[in-house]
Amino acid sequence: MRIEYKDISKLLGYEPTVYRGGGHHLSTAGKRTPYIPGIGVIREYQFNRPVNERVGELLEQIGFRTVNVSPEQATEVTLGKRAQIVNNDFRKQQKKYPKLAWYELGVGVSIHYNAYNGIFDKKRGGFSTFHNKRSAYGKKLAQFINEEMAKGTSQINRGLKTNNLAMTRDTYPAYCLVECGFMDMKTEAVRMLDKDFQEECAIEIVRGICRYFGYEYDDLVTIIPEPVKESINKHHDTQRRFMKKMYEQVVEMLSEGMRDEYKLEEISLFLAELLDAAIEDIHSLKQQVEEINYEQKGYKEAN
């Protein structure tokens, strides 16, 4: 199979921006799990960063522009500085697209992992999405991401929440902060390093963002099976079985020909026919591949 991407910037007529951040630095105080035997402590950064990167990758594949607001630096990028990065860029986007409403230009998402009291507490787990209570568009974004996360994970949905968080409060675009799990719940702490879980969170965040802009992720990303390869493989199998049968027949004939020299003429005739059939086969295979390529081209143009 292969994946075909539609470009949301072509569908919308402008390039929407997503401000994305994986909150915290490796060195940020706190922001880590309690000690886990055999693993040690897991930093929040070890989850947030790969998910943030993957969110960027997935979004850019479908035509979003993304701005990483927690770039890799020796020290933590303060929340004030991050909000400034977002707002400076957002102003430029407003100048670039003066006719668009602010809520169409872009959105922001902060990716986090929650903690309760820093000790393993079985009872507290789940994911939640936060928005600023005064932002209707922030709420809309948080709602979509929350719904998408609820579809994909077996965790408890702690729901849509409001909080006076810097990134959702001090930034111009609609903003959402996602807490993907709890660092002080054992099962969720261990999942932080699980690549499949990281991928799931990233794709659900992206799905929610797509819906904010009026598109379903599945309509933008199409998985197409590869009929060319499959048909050739199938053909090769038939060919192989055919050749094996022929080979067995030739061997049988040759052993007969050893006994009867008149058979040798028959054998050489047969071998010539076999060669002709093989050449014909190669031609038909070539033709089939051309036909399938033509069909795929048609599919591409129609879509």
Q: Classify residue 63 by burial, with Cβ atoms within 10 Å: 0-12, 13-18, 19+.
A: middle
CB of 88 to Zn ion, least distance (A): 23
Of these, 43, 112, 131, 191, which contacts Zn ion (CB under 5 A)?
A: 112
End-to-end CA distance of the chain: give it in Å, rounded.
17
Taking contact as CB under 5 A, which single stretch among the options 16-24, 152-160, 182-190, 226-234 is the one that binds Zn ion?
A: 16-24
Amino acid (1-letter code) at residue 110: S
Select the span of 70-78, 85-93, 108-116, 119-127 touching Zn ion (CB under 5 A): 108-116
Q: Could you say which of 23, 106, 108, 208 contacts Zn ion (CB under 5 A)? A: 23
Q: Is the dihedral of CA 44, 119, 181, 115 positive or negative?
A: negative
Tokens 């081209």 locate to 297
Burial of 119 (0-12, 13-18, 19+ CB in 10 A): exposed
Q: Which of 28, 57, 56 shows the shortest CA–CA distance to 44?
A: 28
Q: Using the rule CB under 5 A, give the single segment among 34-42, 110-118, 260-268, 287-295 that binds Zn ion.
A: 110-118
- Which residues, in sequence order, are CB contacts of 188 under 8 Å at separation 6+? 125, 155, 181, 182
Instruction: Choose the stretch contacting Zn ion; rule: CB under 5 A; options: 15-23, 61-69, 85-93, 117-125.
Output: 15-23
Kindly tell me which of 104 and 204 has the beta carbon lying closer to Zn ion: 204
Q: Which residue's CB is nearer to Zn ion, number 112 or number 140? A: 112
By the rule CB under 5 A, 21 interacts with Zn ion: no
Please report how close the Cβ of residue 134 comes to Zn ion at its closest, in angstroms: 22
Q: Indicate the residue among 115 and 210 with the shorter CB distance to Zn ion.
A: 115
